[in-house]
Structure 1
Amino acid sequence: PDYADAHSNLGVTLQELGRSKDAEASYRKAIALKPDYADAHSNLGVTLQELGKLEDALVQYKKSFELVRGKNPVDPQHKSFRLISKAKMKHDIEQFEYLAASGYESEKFQALVNVYKAVSSEINWPTNDAEIIPLTDKYQKLLMDTYNRSIHVLEAPELPGPTLSNTLDIEKITENYFKHDFGLTYFDNFLTPVALDSIRHFLLGSTIWFDFFHKGGYMGAYLKDGMACPLFLQIAEEMRTTFPKIFKNHPLKQLWAYKYDSRAYKNDSPLTGINAHADYAAINVNFWVTPKAANLNSLSGGLVVYNTEAPLEWDPNTFNNDTEKILEHLEDNNDEKSNIPYNENRIVLFNSNLIHETDKFEFKEGYENRRINVTMLFGERGT
């Protein structure tokens, strides 16, 4: 096993140096020595993706996902199995209710609803629904192999036809992007109805919302941890080929989705959207999948993008997490901003280095009404 670690660590170093083929060889050596090495499978997935071997990358992501979240997890003490928040508990109960009502193994999921509700009623929750607390041994045993596990993951296969709508004015969209000082545009009817529907069902029905560690109480799902499916990669590839002037040769680097609590609009609520930050990439793609009818204020609920870049010398921790420094930087610079309201199937394309944040939002209560955004990151920062 020690040798496996050494090969895996070498792979990470080679990957950082841009030597993807050598990194691939190192990760494969690590896996040959230790087949259940989840991190090596996951990192191999990233490397294969960088090399353009998307199908092979999906295989590795799925292997890693199964090792971490499957029936026999390699680390039974994974921190996401031992911690919980009231917001996370509420989300999971709502998801199981949705699955039972939608006819997916109804008895199983209704039984889980009952167990989770019973546990929730016994826990002495803090007043802040987003606050994370330990899950005692007693409750870990009760929730056992269902909490933060891959107990229900839907398929989102590649579609036979295009995923992007055929109504898009590609030249106009490209022109609008470059009209902005730093690169920004948005447009509606991004995906075909079939692609949008497939993604919505996948995100509502898949138990992949393992990241509840944000102080705003929203849930995250990631490429390496359940979102690796052919449809997302197909969309990313079509974006690159449809808008070559914007995306250049930038490959897809990262993919995630966030799902929010509809109570976030209340002024005293600890549940919020994402604070001002920039991302570690060249181009951001952000699109919204929740039905328009769920949004109670058509003038808000989307994204605020400031006309200010994060300084290139800032490290990821600063431009992602240091809200105070970011707000100071906005005050010192240009605080002009674009306020892009929410719309179903609307996409925002922008330079990843622009500081941006979730707009205030007010959505209807109920699981299917939760605001969901999907983010794709392309290319390296500063390129």
Structure 2
Amino acid sequence: MDNSFKKEQGSKKIAEVKTYPIPFALDKNQENLTINTNNPSKRSQEQIINQALSFHSQGNIPEASKHYQKFINLGFHDYRVFSNYGVILRDLGKLKEAEISIRKAIEIKPSLAEVHYNLGNTLKDLGKLKEAEISIRKAIEIKPDYAKAHYNLGLILLEKDEHDLSIKHFSKSADLLRGQNNKELTHKRFTTISKAKIIHDIEQFEYLVSQGFENNKFTDLAILYRKISAEINWPSDTQLITLNNQHQSLLKDSYNRLIHVIEAPRLQKKTMNSSINIEEVTKNYLDHEFGLTYIDNFLSPAALESLRKFLLGSTIWFDIKNGGYLGAYLKEGLASPLIIQIAEELSKKLPRIFKNHPIKQIWAYKYDSRAKKENSLLRGIKVHADQAAINVNFWITPQEANLNSNSGGLIVYDVEAPHDWDFRIYNNPNDKTKIREELKKSKGNKQIIPHNENRAVIFNSNLFHETDNYEFKEGYQNRRINITMLFGERVSN
């Protein structure tokens, strides 16, 4: 690796109180509650289950588990209890126990899409992809407009290398969640906003006008969004707030919806640059203690141009992060034939690195160039690890947009997330205390890979990593954009 690969040692504010959605709440009429014993009374049963649901909604998983288990041990049968408890077991990694519990829920209530969906996700985690597909398809058969089921079926098909079919279900999910026919006008995905988000959307509309797309439509939207932005008393650039009723009414047909998508078809030629030295890249990765390398001139000029146009022009940037950056996901419009083709070719071209690891997940993030300003709350992604075997992170913004060629990329620590940590610990977006303690204990050795246009970083996904400080020119096309691709399962000892 060259010297640029530096190595170092060492309207209304949304409430902070978090509630947790649970798979099934208890119906008032207590239908489908069956009793195998006359003791304790039905009143006691209702008390136990309501306590379990209350703890579950508060995120108090130990207490929820205890009450679900108590309900079951007393000999009662309710599909909601078995399904909810099964989901908890799945999240705790107790997959076989989760499968048993959810199958009991299906025995009691086989006509509900949600229980088949929960079983499908559990079977997927168990590696039983064929059975998982059957369960998810059953959920869709019962509930054809079940967006989460279409999305998870897409992930299963992606892992099975049925990529064209996976895109079909990702597209269905995106249409259900963000399409014009979605009437959930008061859902938080259409009412949550930040100053950084509305500034992005205004810039995107003006970009689309500059590219000749529906000039009147996007000019009018830019004017409307500017007017609304001026009327809101923003608490900060990054604080998430809820739109008031008037602003919701004005933005209902456009805000956070798929109102414009640029086509990004498969290329007849290869997407990866033919000049890549496969042997050198592979050697660099394998020579690193944990697995780390990078590739310059990663994509062919045609692939890079098509991908850039897709990510600049498509209104798919729906996820608003506290740091002001925005996320785009497969379930909400990111899935395109080109982006899947890139992932396919990558794993095939570097078989000694990717082995037989299937594509697991893909997302993209777009950042606000105003982060360079002093005391700005805008920032990149905090330190974390990802739930996969191999992580690929690549950048598509022109290098002339980067004001500091020694920064703007990725910091990768020579420290793995402990194998007994679960996803909620090593990927917690808010509490980084345990991670920082782990980095201190391991002396925090790290490698900084500076940003470069069309540079891809490939590394062991279990390594802690975070966005480096970045200083980019202002202007929509200068925004830093990275794409992340995950392959395979997290390796555990």
The TM-score bracket by the shorter chain reads over 0.9
- Per the alignment, residue 275 of structure 2 pairs with 167
Residues 157, 231 of structure 1: 8 Å contact kept: yes
Deviation sequence 1:247-286 (CA, Å, 0-9, x none): 0000111101110001112341100011111111000000
Q: Distance in 2 between matches of 1:338 and 1:5?
A: 44
- Per the alignment, residue 362 of structure 2 pairs with 255
Q: Distance in 2 between matches of 1:320 and 1:15?
A: 21
Q: Tell me by how many angstroms 1:110 deviates.
A: 0.2
Residues 27, 44 of structure 1: 8 Å contact kept: yes
- Per the alignment, residue 371 of structure 1 pairs with 480
Q: Tell me by how many angstroms 1:335 deviates.
A: 1.4
Q: Distance in 2 between matches of 1:2 and 1:111?
A: 47
Q: Tell me by how many angstroms 1:74 deviates.
A: 5.8
1:187-266 paired onto structure 2 within 5 Å: 187-212=295-320, 214-266=321-373
Q: Distance in 2 between matches of 1:24 and 1:179?
A: 38
1:33-48 paired onto structure 2 within 5 Å: 33-48=142-157
- C-alpha spacing 1:196/1:184, structure 2 compared with 1 (3 Å): same
Q: Tell me by how many angstroms 1:72 deviates.
A: 1.2
Q: Distance in 1 between matches of 2:123 and 2:440?
A: 40
Q: Distance in 2 between matches of 1:273 and 1:60?
A: 30
Q: Distance in 1 between matches of 2:374 and 2:424?
A: 28
Instruction: Give the letter for the 2:417 counterpart.
Output: A
Q: Tell me by how many angstroms 1:336 deviates.
A: 1.4
- Per the alignment, residue 157 of structure 1 pairs with 265
- Per the alignment, residue 252 of structure 2 pairs with 144
Residues 111, 142 of structure 2: 8 Å contact kept: no
Residues 67, 74 of structure 1: 8 Å contact kept: no
Residues 402, 471 of structure 2: 8 Å contact kept: yes
Instruction: Give the letter for the 2:217 counterpart.
Output: K
Of residues 328, 340, 347, the one that matches 2:449 is: 340
SS at match of 2:447: strand
Deviation sequence 1:154-183 (CA, Å, 0-9, x none): 111000000000101100110001111100
Residues 264, 271 of structure 1: 8 Å contact kept: yes
Matched, 1:354 2:434: no
Pick which of 24-33 and 284-293 moved more.
24-33
Q: Distance in 2 between matches of 1:313 and 1:225?
A: 32
Instruction: Give the letter for the 2:307 counterpart.
Output: I
Q: Tell me by how many angstroms 1:33 deviates.
A: 1.9
Residues 68, 74 of structure 1: 8 Å contact kept: no
1:316-331 paired onto structure 2 within 5 Å: 316-321=423-428, 322-331=431-440
SS at match of 1:111: helix
Of residues 185, 195, 206, the one that matches 1:97 is: 206
Of residues 126, 135, 142, the one that matches 1:17 is: 126
- Per the alignment, residue 287 of structure 1 pairs with 394
Deviation sequence 1:8-56 (CA, Å, 0-9, x none): 2222222222211111112212212221111111111111112211111
Q: Tell me by how many angstroms 1:349 deviates.
A: 0.4
After TM superposition, the score normalised by the length of structure 1 is 0.97
- Per the alignment, residue 176 of structure 1 pairs with 284
Consecutive unaligned residues in structure 2, runs of 5 or more: 1-109
Matched, 1:186 2:294: yes
SS at match of 1:241: helix
Residues 185, 252 of structure 2: 8 Å contact kept: no
Instruction: Give the letter for the 2:361 counterpart.
Output: Q
Q: Distance in 1 between matches of 2:135 and 2:198?
A: 40
The CA RMSD over aligned residues, in Å, is 1.2
After TM superposition, the score normalised by the length of structure 2 is 0.76
Residues 150, 207 of structure 1: 8 Å contact kept: yes
Residues 278, 350 of structure 2: 8 Å contact kept: yes
Percentage identity across paired residues of the two chains: 59
1:93-132 paired onto structure 2 within 5 Å: 93-126=202-235, 128-132=236-240
Residues 218, 258 of structure 1: 8 Å contact kept: yes
SS at match of 2:391: strand
Q: Tell me by how many angstroms 1:227 deviates.
A: 0.8
Q: Distance in 2 between matches of 1:67 and 1:2?
A: 22
Instruction: Give the letter for the 2:276 counterpart.
Output: L
Of residues 181, 188, 201, the one that matches 1:79 is: 188
SS at match of 1:275: coil
Instruction: Give the letter for the 1:195 counterpart.
Output: A
Instruction: Give the letter for the 1:46 counterpart.
Output: L
Q: Tell me by how many angstroms 1:2 deviates.
A: 5.4
SS at match of 2:316: coil
Q: Distance in 2 between matches of 1:159 and 1:308?
A: 38
Larger Rg: 2
Q: Distance in 2 between matches of 1:135 and 1:4?
A: 32
Deviation sequence 1:80-108 (CA, Å, 0-9, x none): 10111000000000000100111011110
Q: How many residues align?
A: 381
1:297-308 paired onto structure 2 within 5 Å: 297-308=404-415
Q: Distance in 2 between matches of 1:182 and 1:13?
A: 30
